[in-house]
A and B are shown apart, each in its own frame.
Chain A
Amino acid sequence: MPIDAKVVHDVARLSRLEVDPAEAPRFVKELQSILAYVEQLQSLDVSGIEPTSQVGAGVKTALREDVVVPSEVREEALEQAPDRDGDYFRVPRVV
C-alpha cells in the first residue's frame, strides 16, 4: 500500500507526532523512496524461516529474585518533572 499524505497523517497521529503541513510532502516523498527500497525484501523466499527477534533467544538466563530494594533516586527523578503537584506528576487533563 503506497504511502500518501493521508497515510503519513494517520501514522503521525498514531505516534503522536505533530507534522507541519508544510513539511508533510517532504516526509511523504522520503518515506516513499525508503519503502520503495525495502520492497526488495519481498523477492526473497522466507518460507519456513524462523524470525530472529532476539539473537540471544534460547540462552539460559537466571530470573530476578523477588526481593524489594527501595530506590534512593526518587527525589532526583521527580525533580526532572516538567510539571508537578506535590507527589504527583501533572499533565493537561485527559479528556
Chain B
Amino acid sequence: MKKKGFLQISFQWLFAIIVGIVILFLTIYGITRLISTEEKVIGLKTSKEIGILLNPLETGFEEAKSSFLEFPVDTRVYATCDDFGDFGRQGIRISQKSLGKWTQAGEDIEFYNKYIFSKYPVEGRKMSLFSKPFEFPYKVANLIYMVSSNEYYCFIDAPDDIENEIENLNLENLLIEDCSESGYINVCFNGDLCDINVNYEAGEVEKGDGTVYFKSDALMYAGIFSDTQVYECQVKRLMKRVANLASLYIDKANLIAVSGCETNLNTELGRLITQARGLDNSRDLHSLISFIEEIDMKNKNNVQCKLW
C-alpha cells in the first residue's frame, strides 16, 4: 500500500498559500508605508492650509478679530518659532490622531510674516483664533493667538476695555467670570494665586513656566496664551521687524526730505534699530517704553510729514 502524507495538499494549493502569504505580507507592508507617507503629505498640506486660513486674521486694523479652525480628527498643532535671519521664521506642523495613535509630525511649513502665539503643542479638534495689531510705535504685525477650544480661560478682575474686547470676540472658551470648575484656567488681574497672574500696570504675566513682560494689550494676550519660550522667541522676531521697519522709515525720511518734508526722527529711529536688535528678552521691552512713546509723540506732532 502506498504511504500517504499527513496533509493531502495539491501543488496548486501549496503554491497559492505560499504566494498568497508573500503577497499579503507585501500588501500590508506597502499599505503601512503608503499610509505613513500619505500622513506626512497630508500633515504638510494641512499646515499650509492653516497658514492660508490665518490670512483673514492678518488684515485687522484696530480691533481684535476672531475665527476658528476645525479639523476632522483630534489634531496637535505645533507652532514653532525660530529667530534666526532677518525676520526669523514661524513654522507650523501638525500631528493627527489615527486609530488611537498620534501620527508623526511632519516637516515645518515656514512663514516669515506670521506671529502665532500658542501653547506647544495646542491640541483639539477645534481651535479658537483671534488676532490683534501690535504697534511699536508704528504697526509691526497682527499677532495671532491660537487656543484649543477644549481649554477654557476665565478672566477675573480684568480692566473694562479688556473685558469688552473679550466679550466682543465672542469666543466660547474665553469667559469673564470666576470659574470654580476644575480644568478651567483662571487668569487673574488682581491677585497672585491663579493659574496665570497678570500685573497690568507693571506689564507682567506670571504663570507656571515663568514670567514674561509686555508693553501693550497685544503682547499681554500673547503672554497669556503662549508658552514662555514661544513668547520670548516671537518677541525677538517682532523686534527684528521693528528694526527693519525703522530702517525703511529712515530711508523714507531721507527721500521725502528732498520734497521739503522734514521729520527729524532719524536719530531716534537709529537708536531704536540698535535697541530692538540688541533685545535679549521681553524684560528689555520695559526700558524702551518711554522712548517709544517719545518717538510716537514726535511723529504725531509733525502733522504735515508724518512718517507713519
Chain A complexes with chain B: no
Binding site for B on A (CB under 8 A): none
Binding site for A on B (CB under 8 A): none
